[in-house]
Amino acid sequence: MSIQGLTPPSINQIENDIRQDVIEIRQYLPRWGYREAAIFKEGRNGLIYCALWMLVEVPPEAILAIASGRVSTDLQSNNHSLVTQIRQQIELATELGHVIRYVYIDAGYTGRDDRRPAFSRMMRRATRGDITAVYTYDIYRFYRNLRGLVTQYARLQENGVELISVAEKHTDFASRDGKLLLYLKGIAGEMYLDDLSRTTRDNKYSRALKGYSNASQPPFGYCRGNCFDCKDPNGKDYCPRFGGTELWRELSNDPKVFVPHPIESVAFQLAAEWYSTGSYSDADIAKKLNSYQHRMDGHTVVSFRPKGQPGRPSQNREFGKDSVRDMLQNPYYAGFVIYRETKRKKGERYQAGKRSNPLGQTHKPTPFNVVWFPGKHIPLISQDLFQRCLEVRGAKGHLPRSNSGRTARVYPLSGVLRCDRCGGTFRGTAANGVRYYEDVNRAQGKSDCPVRSVRAEKLEEPAFAYVQQLHIPEDWYPDILVYLQDDDRWNERCRQRRSLESQLRAIKAEFEMKEISRSEYIQAKHHIEHELQKLAGQDNEAEESLTALLDNFSRLWEAATPLERKTLIRCIFLDIHLHDGKITGYDPRDPFIPLFPAT
């Protein structure tokens, strides 16, 4: 046996085989006298196909039976084709004197449970009273779970329907030996899937650990970089690299790593920059992207559009707020890949670690067992910008909206105020132009606290006065200054500094190679050093002004916008306690406890 024969097929190969199976079964069933009566589900370019086929001419007084076929995307080397499965079932039915009236097909589905469109309908049809037997190619094709197998077989028995397997055609599953074989098959099938699931989890963890994404398709902003043979929905008639040299060879030299899409990457970067300002919602950004005209060169202008689905090259796609929200919370764009463990809960499969924002969206469960690994791909935004987007989203978690969708009012204490009586939080509300903080439990009828709402200024004035007593220690200054200095002027000075340092290294190399004279070298060197000193002086001035601001937190607080104040309060405090509408205490987070005067 060759080495290739011992190597399990890849996911892509299995998917291609399934698509070919679907093509073949749709060609052969009409030849055998069947017509396609219903399609329950179809998608992914033929990978998923769930349908019912019916015999056109049924002999009179025929003993009717049902045939079922299934292929899945599990990595199986012995995955017999649908044509083979159905053909052998029809042959066996003819041998036993049955007529296959209905053929149910489930392509692209696992046999772990009964959440198969064709299978569930087949079981309902089999129990109506006119069906004698249900045929399957193998017990594993019928079910790969012991409990489900026993349950569905009992359902057939109760309705007088026989289960016949081509692989065990001489076995009566109602007999003692047949029941034993049925149970052994169920156990073996379940063990196989358990081993397969563990192997799949390990492989996905290994890929993430190496920095590779486990996604089957590149996220928006990225592509495979196969420009010459591009199949990306945003490739032909959209991407300027389409049909050209391979982009992955230029940017990563690894075909398994997604590379930035020349147009989509710009759209995402703009969306992140807009959102980080705190002035736009997800819907606002979707509208801006839909109307934005991107100029690639002096003559070509393109409109941004989402990636869409493979094989659906519609040019009328538009961004929506849901897709924008998911993009701006995806750490892949900041250079990370994520591994989310798949677990089981109450007998069902569910995905742990659904993406959510840990900075303020308390209405969603906190993901568990979610691991971030540095990715091999090129990030589209910095980690600082990604963090700012999360902070803005967290601060907007309780931000009211006006009917027009624009920000109406900011309530800096919402989500932090907590009632001492019922333990509920307070939210911002308004009536007749007056701002209030309202007890959520009382408003929803979950408590009978005597005070339902308090005017906002009565709570904000003492809370703001308490916050302004905070004193920032000097050893925090370097980290804070790095964040505060990340503006356009600072970035421009950094760019100029790098350029001057590069020029200095270049003229030094030219002097050492005797391409310029000593006097020319000294003159150019003095000029560059003078420019570097000017930039250093500007940096020092900026740092001194920011340090003076940090020395006086009260002044920093007064200069902050309402949304920035909200972000600061959520960062500093866990809770601010209220009792009958009055503040009774503050609960700072651990790092901030020693920064307030002792009370």
pLDDT above 80 for 578: yes
Would you state the structure tokens that stand for residue 179, as one six-digit string? 């029941």
The pLDDT, as a whole number, for residue 132 is 92
303 forms beta bridges with: 293
Determine the Cα–Cα distance for residues 320 and 322; give it in Å rounded to an integer.
5
The pLDDT, as a whole number, for residue 30 is 92
pLDDT above 70 for 599: no
User: First and final CA of the chain: distance in angstroms?
Assistant: 80
- Three-state SS at 350: strand
Most confident range, picked from 61-65, 186-190, 472-476, 533-537:
61-65
Lowest-pLDDT range, 282-291, 383-392, 550-559, 584-593?
550-559
The pLDDT, as a whole number, for residue 53 is 93
Determine the Cα–Cα distance for residues 587 and 127; give it in Å rounded to an integer.
63
Are 355 and 402 contacting, i.e. CB atoms less than 8 angstroms apart?
Answer: no
The pLDDT, as a whole number, for residue 89 is 92
Place 543 in a pLDDT band, splitting at 50, 70 and 90.
low
Place 90 in a pLDDT band, splitting at 50, 70 and 90.
very high
For residue 141, the tally of other CB atoms under 10 A from its CB is 23
The pLDDT, as a whole number, for residue 512 is 83
Are 224 and 255 contacting, i.e. CB atoms less than 8 angstroms apart?
Answer: yes
pLDDT above 60 for 348: no
Lowest-pLDDT range, 33-42, 142-151, 439-448, 461-470?
439-448
The pLDDT, as a whole number, for residue 144 is 85
Determine the Cα–Cα distance for residues 66 and 132; give it in Å rounded to an integer.
8
The pLDDT, as a whole number, for residue 97 is 92
Lowest-pLDDT range, 54-68, 353-367, 378-392, 467-481?
353-367
The pLDDT, as a whole number, for residue 74 is 56
* Proportion of the chain above pLDDT 90, given as a percent: 13
Closest to 393 in 3D by CA, of 559, 277, 292, 305: 277
Would you state the structure tokens that stand for residue 461, as one six-digit string? 């004035």
For residue 88, the tally of other CB atoms under 10 A from its CB is 17
What's the mean pLDDT in 73-89? 72
Place 272 in a pLDDT band, splitting at 50, 70 and 90.
very high
Dump pLDDT digits (tens) for 102-138.
Answer: 999 998 888 887 788 899 889 989 988 889 999 999 8
CATH number of 3-196: 3.40.50.1390
Lowest-pLDDT range, 20-34, 227-241, 445-459, 491-505?
491-505
Q: Return the residue matching tokens 């993430």.
A: 208
Determine the Cα–Cα distance for residues 32 and 524; give it in Å rounded to an integer.
87
Rounded to 5 degrees, what angle do the CA atoms 565, 556, 455 make? 35
Q: Return the residue matching tokens 């950094």.
A: 494
pLDDT above 50 for 414: yes
Most distant CA pair in the chain, distance: 110
For the whole model, what pTM was predicted? 0.52
The pLDDT, as a whole number, for residue 68 is 92
What's the mean pLDDT in 44-61? 85
The pLDDT, as a whole number, for residue 311 is 52
Are 65 and 93 contacting, i.e. CB atoms less than 8 angstroms apart?
Answer: yes
Residue type (1 letter), 230? C
The mean of the pLDDT values for the chain is 79
pLDDT above 70 for 349: no
Determine the Cα–Cα distance for residues 410 and 277; give it in Å rounded to an integer.
15
* Proportion of the chain above pLDDT 70, given as a percent: 80
For 441, half-sphere exposure in the C-beta direction (CA atoms, 13 angstrom radius) is 15
- If you count them, how many residues does the chain have? 599
Determine the Cα–Cα distance for residues 431 and 558; give it in Å rounded to an integer.
27
pLDDT above 60 for 260: yes
What's the mean pLDDT in 12-21? 71
Dump pLDDT digits (tens) for 367-390.
Answer: 446 778 888 888 999 888 888 888
Dump pLDDT digits (tens) for 220-257.
Answer: 999 888 888 888 888 888 888 888 888 888 887 788 88
Per-domain boundaries in the chain: 3-196, 222-385, 401-599
The pLDDT, as a whole number, for residue 443 is 83
pLDDT above 70 for 407: no
